[in-house]
Every structure is written in structure tokens, then in C-alpha cells.
Amino acid sequence: MEKIASFTIDHNRLLRGIYVSRKDNVGGDVVTTFDIRMKEPNREPTLHPGALHTIEHLAATYLRNDAEWKDRIVYWGPMGCLTGNYLLMRGDLQSRDIVELMQRTFRFVADFEGEIPGAAAKDCGNYLLHDLPMARLEARRYLEEVLVNIREENLIYPQ
């Protein structure tokens, strides 16, 4: 079997950032998959599952309600390795195109107070696995350390 593209990225050199993971043609549209990498793989602790689950609920809710981008959002969800999230969007996009959107999204998560959307037993398959304080901390860290002053090396996969 051929190795899939995401397994060909050198994770030992991958930094936190926003990367174009792939582009697919779907029904005449391009769908861009973004790697929203919040942790350096294999070099720092991963995101706690409760924090990542809460980030998923909050970010997905925010993105699907964003006035500018909501009609282009296809999917937001966590990576199995617990180092970030995938964002799928309709359109032939580059990492730089969504920096401001990610800044707003992670600011929303970092500042969120109240009931987590969709975190009731009838709405979620694992409603007990949430950690809002840790989600806020991780979102703020990613926002302030990566997104606010994002550099080129945080937007293009290492070669």
C-alpha cells in the first residue's frame, strides 16, 4: 500500500501552525484540508482529551456561525494523535487565507465562559469528557505564541 500524504510529513521537524494538508476535488469544488497544529509532535505533551474535545465543540460552533466563512466550513475535528485539529473548507485556499479566522476562533475559545455547546448527554457521545479551563488555556497559548505573530515556518510544511 502507498503511504498517505499526511504520513510523509517529517513530524520531527513540524512546528505549531496552520498548514495545507491536502486539496481534493469534490463535486466540482476544491476542498482544502488544513492541519491546525497546536502542539509540536513528539516534542511536547499532547493536548488532554478533555481539552481537545471542548476545543472541538467550541471551534466547530464558532466556525459554523462565522458570518464571513460559515458557508465554506465543511468539518472541524481533532487529530487522533492529539496534537491539533483538521479543518476542511470549500475553496482552493492557502494557510495565510485563514490566519485571521483562526485568530478569531481561538480567541473565542480562550475567552469562552458558560455552558459548552452540545455538551449534554443527548447531544454528545462522550459528554463527560470536557475540560473548559484547560481548553481555554491551550487556546490562549496557541493564539498568543503562534497565531498572533505567525511566521512563514508556521504556514508551510517542513521539507
Q: What is the pLDDT of residues 103-125, one digit of tens each?
A: 999 999 999 999 999 999 999 99
pLDDT 10s digits, 49-67: 999 999 999 999 999 999 9
| Stretch 16-23: mean pLDDT | 97
- Assess contact for 34 and 20: CB atoms under 8 A: yes
According to DSSP, the residues that pair with 76 across neighbouring strands are: 87
Distance in angstroms (rounded) separating the CA atoms of residues 45 and 54: 18
pLDDT at 7 (0 to 100) = 79
Contacts of 43 (CB under 8 A, 6+ apart): 12
Contact yes or no for 17/146 (Cβ under 8 A): yes
- Give 65's DSSP letter: T
At 35, is the secondary structure helix, strand, or coil? Answer: strand
The per-residue pLDDT for range 123-154, each reduced to its tens digit, is 999 999 999 999 999 999 999 999 999 999 99
Domains parsed from the chain with CATH numbers: 5-149 (3.30.1360.80)
- For the chain, the average pLDDT equals 96
User: pTM (2 decimals)?
Assistant: 0.95
